Amino acid sequence: MAAKSGRLCSIKLGTNLIQLMGTWSMPGVSTDLLESTAFGDDWKQFKTGLLDGGTITFNGLYDPADTTGQDALRTANEDSTELTDVRLYIDSTSYWIPTTTGPASYMLVTDWEIGADKSALMTASFSLKVSGKLELI
């Protein structure tokens, strides 16, 4: 078994590390189910519909000085930028990225949040919607 350690993971925007992140989650692909049941059927019937790349979430500590990572993602959200270079690393060399083949894919920053607690470090979290599919490099 080739289990991976989460400590080797990271998130980059191009070659820029998104600073201070501590978790990321990629739910994977879901499939729309289209009901095809007809009058007289005893059991529901389904056909598969479109595939959905899901929503990637990640969070960690807030870094207001991270202009090429956290701040760039907030700007991408405000500008509705289609990001093609978000990389979700599973180790030092392998990562998930939007595919560039049939059809080309991208991610949209759908929301971000900064949180504060008087007894803790400030946090930052981001959600990115996948348009198309991702590939493992």
DSSP SS3 for 132: coil
Domain extent at residue 118: 6-27+55-136
In a domain, 78, yes or no: yes
| Domain at 63, CATH number | 2.30.110.20
Tally the domains of the chain.
1
The per-residue pLDDT for 1 is 59
In a domain, 90, yes or no: yes
- What's the rounded Cα separation, in Å, for the pair 107 and 131? 6
Residue-wise pLDDT for 66-121, tens only, equals 999 999 999 999 999 999 999 999 999 999 999 988 788 999 999 999 999 999 99
In a domain, 124, yes or no: yes
- What's the rounded Cα separation, in Å, for the pair 130 and 107? 5
CB-side neighbour CA atoms (13 Å) of 72: 16
Cβ–Cβ under 8 Å, residues 76 and 111: no
Model-level pTM? 0.89
Query: Dihedral sign, CA of 88, 52, 81, 102?
Result: positive
- What's the rounded Cα separation, in Å, for the pair 63 and 39? 58
**CA–CA distances in Å: residue 79 to residues 9, 18, 67, 93:** 28, 19, 15, 30
In a domain, 37, yes or no: no
Q: Which two tokens stand for residue 9?
A: 């993971």
In a domain, 130, yes or no: yes
In a domain, 72, yes or no: yes
* Angle at CA of residue 73, ends 69 and 76, nearest 5°: 140
In a domain, 45, yes or no: no
* Angle at CA of residue 34, ends 28 and 40, nearest 5°: 145
Residue-wise pLDDT for 91-100, tens only, equals 999 999 999 8
Percent above pLDDT 90 for the chain: 91
